[in-house]
Structures are given as structure tokens and as C-alpha cells.
Amino acid sequence: MSVSGTPAVVSVSISSSLNSFRALKRYSRGLTIAEFKCKLELVVGSPASCMDLELYTVDDKFVMKLDSDEALLGSYPIDDGCRIHVIDKSGTQLGEYEDVSRVEKFQIPDSEYNKRTDSARSFLKQNKLGQYNKEEMLKREAEQEQKLAEEKALAEAIPVGSRCEVRVPGQPNKRGMVMYVGVTEFKPGYWIGIKYDEPLGKHDGSVGGKRYFECQPKYGAFVKPQHVTMGDFPEEDYGLEDEM
């Protein structure tokens, strides 16, 4: 507390003509307006020499301009919660400092980055992690190849046109007909295209603009071969057509 009983620090909301956000900050009442403007540079991005300051009450009513650089901040009727609005006179456009696409990005050449010892790449190399662990990478590649081979074998055993039941853990079983077997463009691996007996699917046999088979909207779906069981499954009536 100051000698007079007025708090030595005041909490104010800072707004600016340069951007749309507000910042709640605490400042010493003993700052001159010139010193206060210098601190505001870091908040709003406007040069201190290009600022005009306006004081508003807690309920956003204009009070006065803070127009004396030599005066102390505490000499103005500023209470906690008041707003100080910074008007930029440099000619900068509204939102210019918010558009990060216009910010020049720092890029270091790959050859220079490889020389650094404090980078994430250097850490991975030193500890033989991720792509720098050849044994682990080879193991993963082998596992992926084996998984793909097993998936291919399962898929090739499912003939197009056969009746099937789709059994996915945590979901109700669904019956339909196999319409497509093979790889797709939307995800890696082997997939089975199903035309369900009822509109329990997601599409009409077309995904990502590419058509794999024909069916009614919401009757088509793609599932992994391990979830498809072939058999003489008669069509089931789910009663969906009776729903409104």
C-alpha cells in the first residue's frame, strides 16, 4: 500500500486498435505515462511514440485521454478493472499482428541443422530412437509386411458376391453381400466392401470421390477382412423402413 492508502499497483484491461483481444495486466501507479507506453509495446505491438491512450471505466464508459507523458499513471482516476485503450498512429492495419501467415518464418538449412548438438534430431540419433534405430525400424517393417500378407490372404478367401455377416467387437452384427475385395485409396491395407441388407452403412460404395461398387446411399461400408464371416446368411428385416 502507498502512504495515502491507495494500492501501489493497479490491474487494468488493455485493448488496442491493432487487434481484437484484451489483456489483463498489473502496473505500478508510479510509472510515468511515457514509461507506461514503453511497457505497452510488448502487449499491443505498437511503438510507444505512436500511441494515444484513452481511459474507460469498468462498464466501458469513456473517461479521458492520458495525454501527458510526464504525468504519473496514478495521477489519473484509474481503478482496478478499468480499461486503457491504445490507439495506434503508425498506420498499421487492424489485425496485422494477428495474421501469422504474414510473419516471416525462420528456416535453417538441413545441413546446418544436422551439425547442431542441441536439436531433437541429435537427441534421437544419440539415443538411437525412432527412425535412427535401424533394428527397431526393420522389426516394424517386418511386422507390417507380415500383417499385410495375413490380411491379403484373408481377403482373397472372400469371394465377391457372397453372403456375409460383419462382426465388429462392440457393435451389433450386420448382414449383407460382399461387393468389393482389395486395396483402396482412402486407407492402406486390404478392405472388404459390403452392401448391407438395411441402411446401416456410411455411403453408396463411393469414398473420397472414387467408386468401388454400387449400392443405395447408407447401405455401403468398408471393413477389414478379419471382421467378415461368410455363410448362408438370410436377409434380416431390421424394421428400419417402418421408422419415421
The reply to whether 190 falls in a domain is yes
CB 220 within 8 A of CB 205: yes
CB 194 within 8 A of CB 201: yes
**198 is written with which cell numbers?**
438395411
CATH of the domain at 15: 3.10.20.90
Last-in-domain residue among 88, 112, 145: 88
Exposure on the CB side of residue 82, measured as CA atoms within 13 A: 21
The reply to whether 135 falls in a domain is no
Last-in-domain residue among 29, 55, 88: 88
What backbone torsions phi and psi does residue 156 show, to the nearest 5 degrees? -70, -15
The reply to whether 62 falls in a domain is yes
- Smallest CA-to-CA distance from 12 within 70, 78, 87 is with 78
Based on the structure, what is the number of domains in the chain? 2
Q: What is the mean pLDDT of the chain?
A: 86
Tell me the pLDDT tens digit for each residue of 200-221: 999 999 999 999 999 999 999 9
The reply to whether 33 falls in a domain is yes
The reply to whether 169 falls in a domain is yes
Mean pLDDT of 63-83: 93
Last-in-domain residue among 32, 61, 88: 88
pLDDT value of residue 4? 52
Which range of residues forms the domain containing residue 177? Answer: 163-235
The reply to whether 3 falls in a domain is no
Mean pLDDT of 42-49: 88
Gap between the Cα atoms of 196 and 194, Å rounded? 6
Residues facing residue 24 across a β-bridge: 13
Tell me the pLDDT tens digit for each residue of 142-185: 888 999 999 999 999 999 999 999 999 988 999 999 999 999 99
What backbone torsions phi and psi does residue 215 show, to the nearest 5 degrees? -165, 175
The reply to whether 130 falls in a domain is no
CATH of the domain at 226: 2.30.30.190
Gap between the Cα atoms of 167 and 209, Å rounded? 27
The reply to whether 116 falls in a domain is no
Tell me the pLDDT tens digit for each residue of 107-148: 778 888 778 887 787 777 777 777 777 777 788 888 889 999
